Chains A and B, each alone.
Chain A
């Protein structure tokens, strides 16, 4: 241990800290008697059942059958009525950064696309890296541990297919909402945005999402280029 190490350790007891609040009663009141979501085994079983449901679902009855669909860290939730989001706002993609800094900040290998080349902007939010191309006309996001939701109503087209040997979902149609789930934690209900077409796919441990005014074929071509 160097002198500076020792001095910093020695400084700790002198640091002024605010008094610690008692959090347990408030937390207990908020969680109530609700049980955390189902365990992994139940979840895996539910996913299998949902996959079967997707395969056999008749489009008009789809919203009545499906409750949600999991793709990596994404969760597509089928709802009868979308939350009241009237305005289309730009997504909060996080802080501006560079690819080099982003690489130092996340635990995973960041995928890039030779097809799209260098992004106009790189953003970082939790462990989610976003590449922005051409004045926000196309955004590609990737993360290992940032969970997010997509809420769709029965008029939205949701097509599940295989891409690079893994599950993928193409979402298109007039009504479709994006809502964040931060890091490994729970929902951020306040962050809801109306968005356009989107492709969600997996590559290794990563979940990637593409949003923009592109066709499904273009989106798939772009997705395949991310390595």
Chain B
């Protein structure tokens, strides 16, 4: 079927801010879809609240709205744009839910807008547990057998029917209290009656226990004609039970015979055909490792994280093909863009293996529970391609940027065999390392399999790696060296283990990802490194070659914004006539799309891997300033290899990072910074803090793998932080700086070596103390006087000049008692670059790149100095994923915690702020709400102001005794809520009973109260009750409540018109 001619204008809904479970993969999918639609001559309207995305660029869609993803705003946009169709299946669950809601409300019918791709009924069927189960039953696909029962006899009968073991899950008990696994009737006799008693409704769910079954996934795609194919199969190394996003995944499946494979493949096709899916879809199975028994776990009737992985693993562009199917094409009419001459209606075959490894935030959140289960916790992932499981696994591990280069965690070395055996039972992020360590300690493969249920195939692969380590430890010879290289050992690791110097290091060759295992010629230049004699990389354009280093996995502090910058850098380079080479290891990104750069090297971003690429390509230059800290860290390697770093020089990058050198520069520039000291010991730290006066900021001068910075308010804090920091031996001093509680201001500037251009100044809404990535950022500044803005521009100029910045620089200031101080300078792109580019209309990466290539700002058409202020106000609001991460304190501090962000844009500041808050998903109560205050003493005076405003809005105010008294004295009739454990009900009980709609809690320092505050904040998160930890944020929220009550009509902004 050819393209449907009645489709002319399509709206694409994005997935909003990056949160755990919904990351950059949807920017990749959405961007690919928009480009596919534009390729067909369609007009594309794009909506997404996330400004850091590539999809919200002018070049990607014709009309772009960075507006809150709510039906209210979508209706406004649809009414204005009048698209004839909506493509909802590429914006994750968010996009899908919104489209379904719009359709249900009848709004789409009324405006004659149709939904493209899979039908709404199908989507609903896939998501409704019961409906889905019924459908599976109808088409003969088994689900995990389960039944709700109300008495023991029924429980027993059902358990007998489905066979032991069974899982008993009591209905409506918190955290599954009273449940368990019954392996026999005897067990059930114990567990079931107990579960029934504990359940509020006297019901238990008896479910077939499939612990230890294999988890297998299929990415499938189907067109409206009914052609259906599988793109990729994937096998989770972790058996069923760990969320697939938290599992180490291998593609294609490794341990299934053809009969098992074809059985599940046929089931996948049966499912998507019966459901009538049109486009990409993901099907997850559990497979009994000892029989042909299987169960369908889940179907995602849309493009997902797994689709991104499958696309990158095979080269098959699922999102693009999904978009083409949605507008009417059949799979047999879509050309396979990798080979350029075969069609999309085939099944990719690969001649390598792929390992996906999750990137968890536990290095940042050291106190978070690391246990893995059905709730995903990873913020991102890496992918590795190699010829063996061993080598792919090794590549994946070093791609994580945890400072580890083989399957070894130093702290596990201290454990005894017995402790290791115990730890093998724990399913957490370290399990694979525990497996390796257990093998080193002599635990048998069988024993490990028995405990972990991980297939022996994979355990044996890990054993091969350990065996190689042992062999290396006996000394090195050439044959062994080559063998170790083929297994994925880096030279550093080989030298470290063997104690021998490698005489003649070998460098990798490169093979192509071509969707067809070499059967057909391909036109793509998508490579991975391996150790074969024959290499396949070729010169593409004959032009000068520039290597652009990407930013690796999405993590807290380094998100999608750096992929935005890398991709723009590539595009700008292409425009300037260069051959572009990108290196990255994150499968969720646009930068790793096979047609973004002229060449893609999908490999880890470590010195040795980059050296391999440089050795193969011999680029004429490299660019590190757009790939975040990941790329910056590789500056020395690149320089050592003799490749010119384009833009700010290596020594200047170093000067910005090295404390002493940087202090000297500030001195020369006569720019003040908060006073500070360097210390090594706890005693020195206490001394320094005393001298500087609390609060002080404590941090290691070189941050490795996690321990970040903390603000110390007293000696106790210093002692605690120093202990945490010194758990890892510090080779560099620890920095103690005076902490200035002023207004934070941030600037991104472009420099050409002589002049600079500042597109805009941003002001943080929260006062200092909150990491810039976690604070609400406002452009243009609303509260910074002109003279201070002038000083900021001046300081920026001086610093850029002193650091010889060529390209981008990000500087953070604090305005404290009418004095501007510099806190930090980053001679690279920053988190705020995409958003400022979009709001001001200054294409920052493009201009920076041109400067890097030697052009002058004066000639680039955007002027120099501070760019004219936009008539639009933009408010960037951070988004957190706290509900996914247990035991993480939600209070904000100098260590970044947010996973993503949204933007509110309007000519009116109040409206921009409102849009930002709404877009961030903050559930702001507007009427008759109960507000709980628990604030630290120093905030009490200010809290009165806030409480008064809320009271005037008709809200009921609750507070702990002393605060309530103070409120009452100020004419606010506050009610008292009992401190935790002092009465019944206490604050926690009241929260649990949902008696509060909003919590304002400013973290107190001091032990007992801190723990109480923590409990309150966590409780609020778990119950989805908004909890504000800064009075500045609270004031902003009140502002928005007023706005909502006045029923302002919202304006919407097409940012391509800015």
Co-assembled chains A and B: no
